[in-house]
């Protein structure tokens, strides 16, 4: 639910700025960070950097009292080059969320003992181990096994296409090969995208999510037993996302969960019923013309989110109330027409929300952090610091 009072505060705090620009409502961000910790019930949360992409926000969350109390620990990065950069800025616990073939970054990690100790590579194939060893050299490297957490019902595959590892036997075999080649098998990850990434839109979806949660819970236990039999104790068992924290922490074998989108709360999270987050990231567009009564055209704004081509990936106008995208045009590269414009005039602003977290930061060099008292701090995004990791 959008807090109109908060949007009025954001409007006032940015009155001198020319749009388009992006803002983060700090009270909402902090409330979301605290609510994620509440939902995790004592299990530490690893922050997904791809859903943040602002170093100051990572530092805000990881440097907060919530972290001091054990609520947050470490970063899940999405690129080894990003991991190197974050390490340069003080990060010391970085789990790569995806396998990589980025040779130059792997080589730099392998050449620096302190970085090797801080970074854990994600693997799901022997070929990845071969590449890591060839490029990084003989020094010790940490790896985590990515185990498929999708639901399969007969021929149906419900979930994303990620890892080829699925059975306890497959996971144990790769763990054994990794250990035999001098890698430290630090952990196992299972990401239930079909649970974390699906809003609770109807009873059928909720039923599938319940069945899927029970299935991965049983299979994860068998996988962990098989891997531990080969390599001994594991440092981490990572699971979940912002949309599935409660399910993940209900498994005593899970030692940490990952969350990032739940800090900003993009529109894809509007359909969840198990929690009530507060939208924290917005962007503002200036009105540049009025082509017809009740319609205005805003400059830029066509920031479409990744994923399937669907209306759910489009941005959403949220203030003033009543604004709607025009179906024949949508949000455009250099102009976005909106109906329901009422009394909006040329030079006024419209406020929008993005569909996914983090990706919006690839459009802006700066994001403005607005506090409860209306004070404003402007900080660079990854892009603003000259960093682009894909």
DSSP secondary structure of 283-313: EEEEEEEEEETTEEEEES---PPSSSSSGGG
What are phi and psi for residue 156, nearest 5 degrees? -80, 135
**Whether residue 258 has pLDDT greater than 90:** yes
**Whether residue 296 has pLDDT greater than 60:** yes
What are phi and psi for residue 55, nearest 5 degrees? -65, -35
**Whether residue 36 has pLDDT greater than 90:** yes
**Whether residue 160 has pLDDT greater than 90:** no
**Whether residue 65 has pLDDT greater than 80:** yes
Q: What is the mean pLDDT of residues 170-187?
A: 97
Q: Which of 124-138, 190-204, 356-370 has the lowest mean pLDDT?
A: 190-204
Q: Mean pLDDT of all residues in the chain?
A: 91
**In this predicted model, what pLDDT tens digit does every residue of 224-237 receive, in sequence order?**
999 999 999 999 99
- Cα dihedral sign, 31-37-40-42: negative
- Strand partners of residue 187: 144, 236
The tokens of 51 are what?
Answer: 């859903």
26-263 maps to which CATH number? 3.20.20.10
Could you give the angle at which helices 126-136 and 168-180 cross, rounded to 10 degrees? 20
Q: Which of 19-33, 85-99, 149-163, 279-293 has the lowest mean pLDDT?
A: 149-163
**In this predicted model, what pLDDT tens digit does every residue of 317-332 receive, in sequence order?**
999 999 999 999 999 9
Map out the domains of the chain as residue ranges: 26-263, 281-384
pLDDT at 283: 98
Q: Which of 85-94, 115-124, 128-137, 325-334 has the lowest mean pLDDT?
A: 325-334
CA-CA distances (angstroms) from residue 126 to 93, 143, 165, 176, 261?
Answer: 24, 12, 11, 11, 31
What stretches of 137-202 show up as alpha helix (H) in DSSP?
Answer: 168-180, 193-196
pLDDT at 159: 62
Who wins on pLDDT, 251 or 299? 299
Query: Which pTM was predicted?
Result: 0.92
The Cβ of residue 250 has, within 10 Å, a number of other Cβ atoms equal to 12
For 8, residues 6+ apart whose C-beta sits below 8 A from its C-beta are none
- Percentage of the chain lying above the pLDDT 70 cut: 91
Query: Is residue 362 a contact partner of residue 327, using CB atoms and an 8 Å limit?
Result: no
Q: What is the mean pLDDT of residues 319-348?
A: 94
Q: Evaluate whether 26-263 and 281-384 have a shared fold.
A: no
281-384 maps to which CATH number? 2.40.37.20
Q: What is the mean pLDDT of residues 160-171?
A: 87
**Whether residue 71 has pLDDT greater than 70:** yes
**Whether residue 171 has pLDDT greater than 60:** yes
Q: What is the mean pLDDT of residues 247-274?
A: 90
């Amino acid at each position: 639910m959008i807090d109109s009072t908060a949007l009025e505060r954001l409007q006032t705090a940015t009155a001198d700025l020319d749009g388009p620009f992006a803002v983060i409502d700090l009270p909402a961000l902090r409330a979301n960070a605290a609510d994620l910790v509440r939902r995790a019930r004592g299990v530490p949360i690893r922050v997904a950097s791809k859903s943040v992409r602002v170093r100051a926000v990572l530092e805000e969350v990881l440097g907060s009292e919530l972290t001091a109390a054990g609520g947050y620990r470490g970063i899940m990065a999405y690129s080894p080059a990003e991991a190197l950069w974050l390490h340069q800025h003080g990060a010391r616990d970085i789990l790569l969320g995806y396998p990589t073939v980025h040779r130059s970054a792997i080589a730099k990690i392998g050449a620096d003992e302190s970085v090797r100790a801080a970074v854990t590579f994600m693997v799901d194939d022997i070929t990845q181990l071969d590449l890591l060893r060839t490029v990084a050299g003989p020094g010790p490297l940490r790896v985590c096994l990515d185990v498929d957490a999708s639901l399969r019902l007969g021929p149906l595959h419900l979930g994303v296409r990620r890892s080829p590892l699925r059975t306890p036997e497959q996971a144990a075999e790769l763990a054994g090969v990794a250990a035999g080649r001098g890698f430290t098998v630090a952990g196992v990850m299972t990401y239930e995208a079909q649970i974390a990434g699906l809003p609770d839109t109807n009873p059928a979806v909720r039923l599938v999510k319940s069945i899927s949660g029970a299935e991965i819970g049983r299979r994860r236990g068998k996988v962990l037993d098989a891997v531990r039999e080969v390599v001994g104790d594991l440092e981490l068992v990572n699971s979940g996302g912002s949309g599935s924290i409660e399910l993940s922490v209900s498994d005593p074998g899970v030692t940490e969960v990952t969350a990032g989108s739940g800090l900003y709360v993009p529109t894809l999270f509007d359909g969840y019923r198990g929690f009530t987050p507060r939208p924290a990231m917005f962007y503002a567009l200036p009105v540049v013309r009025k082509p017809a009564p009740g319609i205005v055209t805003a400059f830029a704004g066509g920031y479409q989110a990744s994923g399937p081509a669907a209306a759910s990936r489009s941005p959403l106008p949220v203030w003033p109330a009543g604004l709607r995208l025009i179906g024949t045009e949508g949000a455009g590269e250099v102009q976005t027409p909106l109906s329901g414009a009422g009394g909006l005039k040329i030079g006024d602003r419209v406020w929008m929300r993005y569909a996914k977290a983090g990706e919006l930061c690839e459009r802006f060099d700066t994001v403005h952090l607005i506090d409860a008292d209306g004070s404003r701090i402007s900080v660079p995004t990854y892009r603003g610091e000259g960093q682009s990791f894909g």
